[in-house]
Structure 1
Amino acid sequence: MDRPLRDAVDAACCVDRLGGRRGMAACEPLLSACARVGLRVGEFTMPPVDDRAEPLLFTPEQAAQLLGVKASWLRRKAAARAIPCTFLGKHLRFSRADLETIITAGEQSPRQRPHRLG
């Protein structure tokens, strides 16, 4: 999702959740971002929140299962700040973006075999 559309969706969520004058003031930066790209809140509706939806942040165990690695490996790399992660107090968590970055950083291009002559 491109940035202007994401801002518009965020504004719609903000208005929907907060509503009223005080809520609208809190949403003002996002609403102005929508106006800059020509979108008005109310032109679209957000889908209902699904209780079975993916969590916002994953525990090391959940992230390890998704990545196919050991949770201890994730903890060790996070403690060394070698991979992106989030600390909520002392609790280690991983966002979907963190997991995608970890995957992308580990990608390797295939090696070319030398061509044999003869």
Structure 2
Amino acid sequence: MLSAINRQEEKMMILRSLKERCAPQWAALLVVDVQNDFVSSKGSAAQRGEDVSAAQAMVPTLIRLIAEARRVALPIIYVKTVHGEWTDTPSWIYRKSQQSALKTCREGSWGAEFYDRISPLP
């Protein structure tokens, strides 16, 4: 019985590395909204009383993942939220004014910038 299990394990391909799991020609790493206002204890989310500890806890793992993606030439796509006058529709202003969140990720602000050590290479 044990030899049958060993043969079955040999047949199964166990993918352990990012390079084995993701072919760069077909995949990309998406890094979405990892910005000061959402992750930093000085950001607007934390200042409103939201718990950002889970976001902060994932940062070291994300940094390692980004480094590995760069090592295997996996494309990395960074997405960030930016709000400004051109996105402030009346309904957005009303909705966010109820939450004191209008200052989140304002165009050109520190809060809209990517969090420490999370950013695209030049």
- In the superposition, the TM-score normalised over structure 1's length comes to 0.25
- In the superposition, the TM-score normalised over structure 2's length comes to 0.25
More helix by share: 1
Which structure has more relative contact order (CA 8 Å, sep 6+)? It is 2
